[in-house]
Structure 1
C-alpha cells in the first residue's frame, strides 16, 4: 500500500506584493520534494518547516503542473492589525513624561520611537485603571493578549516588556524586582550567514560607485546600517588603518578594520562624489537613509540569485563568521563588532562550517598513533 497517496502539498496563496510563495511538502513525499528543489529560486525555511519559491505567475503554473492533484491552495491567515489610537490627554501626558525621561537617560531616537509606540497601546488598554496599581499578572495578561490576538513575535514581545519596564522603573521610579515580567524563552537561532562567494557577488553587483562602497563598508568592517549612515568623512582613518565608529550600540565608540582594498574603493568614491561631512550623503546633503541601503541590498540579492532571506545585517554576520573561519582571535572580532561580551560573539562559533577542511576528526589521530589493518574495516 502506498502511504503517500493521500498526502497533499499545500501552496499558501501569496498576499499582495509578497516576494515569495510558501509551499508545505510532507516529509514522506521525497520525490516531489526533490523535484521542487531542482526549480530555480527555491529555499527551505527551517523554523517554519516550509519551502518557498519566487512569487511569479509562471512559478504558480509550474507548481500546478509539477504536483497536479496533490496540490492544494490555501489562503495564509492574516493576523489582526494593531488599532490606530489617538491618545487622550491622560495618555499623552504619560507618553510625554516617559519621553522626557528617556531623552534624559540618552536613549537612541529609534528606541524612543519604538517604546512610545508600545506604550501608546499599553496605556490605551489600561486607560480606565490607575497605572501605578497595575499588577505584574495584569501586565502579563496584556502581553498574552497581544500574542494571541496580534501574533506578535518574540522580538516584539521583548520590546513591549522593555517599554513597560522603562515606564515603571524610570518614569514612575517603581521597584525593578516587582516588574520582573515573564519573557519568551531566549531563541537559540543561528545568525543567517552568506558564503564568501555570495558576498562577493552581492557587494560587487552595484554599478553605482556609492552603492558599491556602502555594501563594501558593511561587510569589510562588520558595520550595522545605523553605523554606516552616521559615518563621517573623518572617521576613515587611512593612515592608522581603521574605521572609527562613534556612538555605536550601547553608546560605545570603537575601531574596526579598514581594508586597503576598501580604502582604495572609498578614495575612488570620494573623488567622484566629494562628500563634505557625512561619508555617504543623501540627495539633500544630509545622512543617507537606511531604507535606501536596504533597497540597494535587496536589488543586489535578487539580481545575483543569492539567499533571498538575507538582509544588510547578514553582511555583518558574515564578516564575523568568515573571520572566525580564518582563525582570527575572538577578542579581535568582539572588538570590531562592538560586543560588550565575548558571549555575544561566541554565537558565530556555532555557524562555522564543519567539514574535514576545518576540523580534524579524532579518527585520523587514532590511525596516526596506532597501527590498524584498514582492510579489516572493509
Structure 2
C-alpha cells in the first residue's frame, strides 16, 4: 500500500496525516487534494478531515471522535441559528467545529446537565493537556457561550465562563526596504500585482481574493471592499502607482469575474496559490524571516502611523471595530523610539 493515514490535530484543527515513502510522484498526487499542506514540525503531509478523504484513505470513524446523537442534532441547530443570523461561512465552520470538540469530550453526558465546572475540566484535561493555543481555547469559549446562550437552557451560567488570558504579542512588521524587495521580486505581473495590492491597501488575504474589477473606482481613486470581515463594506484609497500597474495587468489578463482569477477563467484565485506566490518572492529576495501575507497588512498600518496618519483613520482603513485593536501598532512604530538616545552613547 502506497499510503497510510491517521487522524491528527494540527493547530487546533482536525486533519488527516498521510504517510508514504518520499517520492516525487506520490508528493504530486497528495498535492492534488484541496488544502493539502506540509507540516515541518510533524514532518508529514496532511489533508482536511472530510468524509471523502476518510473514505479514500479508509479511515474508520471511531466512536471517540464523534459527539453523541444529541450532540450532532444540537450542532445542526446551532449551525442553522448562525446561518439565520448571517454569520459568514468561515465563522459558522469555526464555531461548529469548536462546539463539536466540546461535545465529543462530553459525549456520554446529557448536554442539559453540563455545568461551568465541566467547562473548566475540559480546558484543563483537553485544551491544556494537548497544549492547544489560547486562541483556540478562546474559540471554544466563544462557541460554548453563544450556543448555551441562544440554543439550549442549561445549568451553565454564561457570564461565569472565563476566557483565557490573552498573550500580548506584537504584530510582525517589515521595513519599507524589505517590503520593496518582496514586492519587486516577481517578474510575473499578476504575482507582483497581488502582493502590491495587499500592502498598498492593507488588505486581508480573503479581501484581495474577493475583489472584482467593478470594485476598482479609478475616477475616485478608491477600492471598494464588499462584505469584509464582520460583513462590513469599507473603502480604502488606491495609490496612483497601483492604478497604473492595474491598467497594465488588466490589458494582459483581462479578468472576467474576479480581479485575480485562477487557471480557469472566471474562477477565484486560491489562497494556497497566493501563499505560494509570497513564499517564492521571499526565496527570490533572500528573506529568511517567516513572513506571512498578514505581515504586509501589519506593515501597511505601521508605516502609515510612522508617516503621521491619525490612528482613527488607520482604524477605518483596516476595518477594525475597536480602536484598541489598532492601538497595538503604536507599540511597533519606531518613529519615536529611534529619537531616544541611549545612555551608552555618553559613556
- Per the TM alignment, residue 153 of structure 1 is displaced from its structure 2 partner at its CA by 0.6
Q: Which residue of 2 aligns with 1:227?
A: 207
Give the counterpart of 1:329 among 310, 319, 325.
310
Partner of residue 338 from structure 1, selected from 319, 323, 334: 319
Distance 1:295 1:77 in 2: 20
Aligned-pair CA distance for 1:173: 6.0
Quote how far apart the aligned CAs of 1:169 are: 1.6
1:306 to 1:174, Cα distance in 2 relative to 1, 3 A:
farther
Look up the match of 2:38: none
- 1:197-240 CA-to-partner distances (Å, cap 9, x unmatched) read 11111111122211111100100000000101111111111110
CA contact (8 A) 2:115 2:155 kept: no
Matched, 1:298 2:279: yes
What is the deviation of 1:139? 1.0
Pair member with larger Rg: 1
Where in structure 2 are the equivalents of 1:7-46 lying within 5 Å?
A: none
* TM-score, length-scaled by structure 1: 0.70
Tell me, yes or no, if the aligned pair for 1:237 and 1:244 is still in contact at 8 Å. yes
What is the Cα deviation at residue 174 of structure 1?
6.3
CA distance in 1 between partners of 2:155 and 2:326 (Å): 32
Q: How many residue pairs are counted as aligned between the two chains?
A: 287
1:119 positional shift: 1.8
Task: Tell me the residue number matched to 1:186.
Answer: 166
- Partners of 2:132 and 2:182 in 1: CA distance: 32
Q: Over the residues paired in the alignment, what is the CA RMSD in angstroms?
A: 2.7
Q: CA deviation at 1:77?
A: 9.7
Question: 2:138–2:164: 8 Å Cα contact kept in structure 1?
Answer: yes
The answer to whether the Cα contact below 8 Å between 1:136 and 1:179 also exists between their aligned partners in 2 is: no
Alignment of 1:159 with 2:139, yes or no, is yes
| Alpha-carbon separation, structure 2, partners of 1:180 and 1:128 | 24
Specify which of 295, 319, 344 is matched with residue 314 of structure 1: 295
User: Could you tell me how far 1:86 is from its partner in structure 2?
Assistant: 4.4
| Pairing 1:144–2:147 present | no
Cα offset, 1:146, TM superposition? 2.2
* Aligned equivalents of 2:267, 2:74: Cα separation in 1: 33
Structure 2 CA distance for aligned equivalents of residues 91 and 288 of structure 1: 36
Indicate whether 1:172 and 2:148 are aligned.
Answer: no
How far apart, CA to CA, are the structure 2 residues paired with 1:103 and 1:335? 27
Tell me the alpha carbon deviations over residues 12-64 of structure 1, each in whole angstroms, 9 at most, x when there is no partner. Answer: xxxxxxxxxxxxxxxxxxxxxxxxxxxxxxxxxxxxxxxxxxxxxxxxxxxxx
Q: Matches of 1:203 and 1:146 in 2, distance apart? A: 42
Aligned-partner Cα distance in 1 for 2:79–2:180: 43
The alpha carbon displacement at 1:170 in A equals 2.5
| Unpaired runs of at least 5, structure 2 | 1-40, 50-60
CA–CA distance in structure 1, aligned partners of residues 340 and 285 of structure 2: 34
Aligned mates of 2:247, 2:120 — CA distance in 1:
54
Q: In the aligned structure 1, how far is the partner of 2:84 from the partner of 2:146?
A: 13
| Structure-1 separation of matches of 2:73 and 2:285 | 50
CA contact (8 A) 2:67 2:107 kept: no
Aligned equivalents of 1:193, 1:218: Cα separation in 2: 14
Shift in Å, 1:92: 2.3
Distance in 2 separating the partners of 1:305 and 1:184:
38
Residue 259 (structure 1) aligned with residue 239 (structure 2): yes
1:216 aligns with 2:196: yes
Distance 1:259 1:238 in 2: 10
2:332 is aligned to 351
| TM-score (normalised: structure 2) | 0.76
- After superposition, give the CA deviation of every residue in 1:122-168 in whole Å (9 maximum; x if it has no partner): 11211121212211111121022223332101111111111212221
